[in-house]
Amino acid sequence: MSGRLDEFGLIARYFRPLATAPGAAGLTDDAATIPHAFGKELVVTTDAVVAGVHFFPDDPADAVARKALRVNLSDLAAKGARPTGYLVTLALPDVWDEDWLEAFSEGLAIDQEEFGVSLLGGDTVRSPGGLVISITAFGHAAEGHVPRRDGAAPGQRLYVTGTIGDAALGLMLRQDERLGRLWDLSRAEKEALLDRYLLPEPRVALASVVGAYGTASMDVSDGLIGDVRKLAEASRVGAVIDAVRVPLSSGVARAARLDPPALGSALTGGDDYEILLAIDPEDAEAFEAEAISLGVRVADIGVLTEGSAVRVERHGREMIFQRGSWNHF
């Protein structure tokens, strides 16, 4: 539909003028801050997931619940905030069953335990159209240590946590299981990719390190390359990414070798829920050491530059992507 605003245009035109509070950051970020007690800031974020858009209607209810919560915890972690609580609004279709709800609440219970959060409230409404789960999550960050998207400067390094592309290839596998053979995946690799789409691993453990060292930070939810562009644009810098340094799991690495377009899918697909952050070169060693001590893999994937161009290189040649970003909307 040409001429139509996309999600970002829609927000900029209709909603940015309403974001008058300083902590709203003009709606250019993934979370808002509310000044808080004792040198802390309260960080709030909200993300919704919709059946048939963000998950498959037949996904297990416990996984759906955990995904809905985790995508929010991921936003908080990227803002240096440790989660404390959340609200959940369930818009349920006319036909719902108790087994589904029981599994849904059990999924939440598992993640509450894992991440140390409490349900604070919510709302249940009837939704004639279909299931929508909207979660608002709260976390605490140290005052002045909530990295925005717009704080990066030329010369700083770009880091990413974990591995990239697992969820995107997991989704492709789910849609076409023959890809498993094309990519020569072991059973374990296949399951790892499928699991990763179903259940993101928010980098909650790294939150305070992100807050301490990140000059700019965001979670990677809409594809790495597109999200690098967003961070660079917000910070008014360019970037050069070395695709070879982007960390890949063994399954994604083999898929990329045997089926080159799969590398593009890995770098531009969505649902990674890793953290992309800019680090001052002087801090790089300390940042890496602290991340390792927390058991989180981090990789230096490139550098921020003057200008506004975002260039992705592979063995010295520029990679061109058909689309830089996945837009859930």
Complex with a second copy: residue 116 or 261, whichever CB lies closer: 116
The site string for a second copy over 94-133 (x = CB under 8 A, - otherwise) reads ----x--xx-xx--xx--x-----xxxxxxxxxxxxx-x-
Complex with a second copy: residue 134 or 208, whichever CB lies closer: 134
Residue 142 near a second copy by CB under 8 A: no
Q: Which two tokens stand for residue 3?
A: 């001429």
2 is in an annotated binding site: no
Give the rounded distance of the alpha carbon of 167 from its chain centre: 11
Complex with a second copy: residue 125 or 320, whichever CB lies closer: 125
A 10 A CB-CB count for 119 gives 15
The amino acid that residue 266 corresponds to is A
Alpha-carbon distance of 295 to 208, in angstroms, equals 14
CA angle 56, 72, 165 (to 5 degrees): 60
Residue 167 near a second copy by CB under 8 A: no
The site string for a second copy over 50-89 (x = CB under 8 A, - otherwise) reads x-xxx-----------------------------xx-xxx
Give the rounded distance of the alpha carbon of 251 from its chain centre: 20
122 is in an annotated binding site: yes
Residue 46 near a second copy by CB under 8 A: yes
Q: Which stretch binds a second copy (CB under 8 A): 7-15, 215-223, 272-280, 294-302?
A: 7-15
Residue 328 near a second copy by CB under 8 A: yes
Pairing of strands 238-242, 298-305: antiparallel
Phi, psi of 192 (to 5 degrees): -60, -40
Q: Which of 230, 147, 161 is nearest to 201 (CA)?
A: 161
Known binding positions for ATP = 122-123, 149, 221
Binding-site annotation, residues for Mg(2+): 30, 45-47, 75, 123, 219, 222
